[in-house]
């Protein structure tokens, strides 16, 4: 399941991040790529040793966690390995799949990947995030502050930037529910029970769906 989230980052948060992303602090993005991804990765990223990185990383994690759709769809156990990337004209990231485990000593599983767009779409051309799916490619170029969440097992790429500069925050999620089909069932159930609650309050139907939602989460969670 691929889903987009609008306004993950507020206007003031986007400005805060932008003010602290100094281009001179960025390093070659190949330093964190896997041995095969190095062949197609041509971008820059903010090193974790940067003075700005810890606070900016926490800001991104907190912004995602407060979004109700994110929690319902991703069932996050931990958000990890956040990277702030920068693409100048001519830079791209060719077709690749994300590593199954990340996080250094913590060794977190990457069930889901996310990209939060930090640059307004009219400030650059090219730079689309493209998912390579069985029914064809899907291209994403969202508003600044919006996010796209997708299975980390998906082949994807970032097209060449042809004008301007593209900033993004990317990262990974280890979910409480490893199976993507189970996550989708839980998401649908949660959507229905929230709709019932909004119309009828705490009804018998709401209680029954909530019971089965909780029990399935116990069954499938890890």
pLDDT score of 13 = 98
pLDDT-derived band at 35, boundaries 50, 70, 90: confident
pLDDT score of 26 = 96
pLDDT score of 32 = 76
Mean residue pLDDT of the chain comes to 95
| Residue 62 dihedral angles phi and psi, to the nearest 5° | -65, -40
218 labeled binding residue: no
pLDDT at 30 over 90: no
137 labeled binding residue: no
- Please compute the mean of the pLDDT values over residues 124-134 and round it to a whole number: 97
pLDDT score of 202 = 95
Q: What HEC string does 35-80 produce?
A: CCHHHCEECEECCCCCCCHHHHHHHHHHHHHCCHHHHHHHCEEEEE
Question: Global pTM?
Answer: 0.93
pLDDT score of 103 = 82
pLDDT score of 187 = 96
pLDDT-derived band at 222, boundaries 50, 70, 90: confident
96 labeled binding residue: yes
pLDDT score of 33 = 73
Which stretches of 165-207 are assigned E, i.e. beta strand? Answer: 166-175
166 labeled binding residue: yes
pLDDT score of 182 = 97
pLDDT score of 36 = 77
pLDDT score of 104 = 76
Rounded Cα distance between 1 and 112, Å, is: 10
């Amino acid at each position: 399941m691929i889903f987009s989230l609008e306004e993950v980052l507020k206007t003031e948060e986007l400005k805060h991040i932008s003010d602290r992303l100094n281009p001179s602090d960025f390093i070659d993005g190949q330093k964190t790529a896997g041995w095969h991804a190095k062949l197609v990765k041509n971008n820059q990223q903010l090193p974790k040793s940067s003075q700005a990185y810890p606070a900016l990383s926490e800001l991104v994690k907190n912004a995602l966690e407060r979004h109700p759709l994110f929690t319902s769809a991703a069932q996050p156990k931990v958000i990890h390995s956040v990277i702030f990337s920068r693409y100048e004209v001519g830079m791209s990231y060719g077709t690749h799949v994300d590593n199954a485990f990340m996080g250094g000593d913590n060794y977190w599983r990457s069930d889901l990947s996310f990209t939060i767009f930090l640059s307004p779409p009219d400030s650059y051309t090219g730079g689309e995030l493209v998912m390579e799916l069985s029914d064809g490619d899907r291209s994403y170029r969202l508003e600044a502050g919006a996010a796209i969440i997708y299975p980390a097992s998906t082949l994807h790429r970032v097209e060449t930037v042809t004008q301007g500069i593209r900033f993004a925050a990317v990262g990974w999620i280890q979910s409480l529910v490893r199976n993507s089909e189970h996550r989708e069932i839980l998401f649908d159930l949660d959507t229905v029970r929230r709709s019932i609650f909004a119309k009828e309050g705490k009804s018998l139907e709401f209680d029954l769906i909530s019971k089965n939602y909780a029990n399935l989460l116990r069954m499938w969670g890890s």
